[in-house]
Amino acid sequence: MEYSDDLLKSVLKRVKRVAVVGVSTNPVRPSYFVARYLHLKGFDVVPVNPAYQGEMLFGREVLAGLDEISGGVDMVDIFRRSEAVPEVVDEALATFPSLDVIWMQIGVRHPEAAAKAEARNVTVIQDRCPKIEYQRLFGELRMGGFATGVISSKL
């Protein structure tokens, strides 16, 4: 999937509150360090995973589902297998009438669910990582950092 840098930058600048569906409390899991990175960058991260319901992550209680979130979100970031995407998209569209973005992580794609969300004027990004895109677009990657996710504070 190809997305313009302008589109990705626009999404990352306008989104403030992000539900991370499928987040892990294990710090070596990609879903953990992506959610942590977004939290450290000032995004209001709402962790969602029924397996960790009630545990604390980044100062927030992990919720079982999107329907438990009060106050809405701007973006739903999906860390689930592609076959789980339609259920997550349906729940997101039903729960958040003014949802702005659905973001599917690297390796996660579902054209039909994406089309359904886009028909509701939701921006959909598939097969990309917001952490990697943020680092790339806002100049936080060193040489070789794209593959490793290394952040340089000297840039």
Quickly list DSSP for 102-139. EEE-TT---HHHHHHHHHTT-EEE-S--HHHHHHHHTT
Amino acid at 91: E
Q: Could you tell me the fold of the domain covering 5-148?
A: Rossmann fold (3.40.50)
Q: What is d(CA 127, CA 139) in angstroms, rounded to the nearest whole number?
A: 21
| Residues in a beta bridge with 18 | 45, 75
Q: What is d(CA 85, CA 55) in angstroms, rounded to the nearest whole number?
A: 24
Examine the pLDDT at 8 and tell me if it is beyond 60: yes
With cut-offs at 50, 70 and 90, classify the pLDDT of residue 142: low
Dihedral angle of Cα 102, 108, 109, 113, to the nearest 10 degrees? -50
| Mean pLDDT, residues 126-152 | 74
| Mean pLDDT, residues 105-134 | 98
Give the pLDDT of residue 11.
Answer: 98
- The pTM (predicted TM-score) of the whole model is 0.89
| Mean pLDDT, residues 15-23 | 98
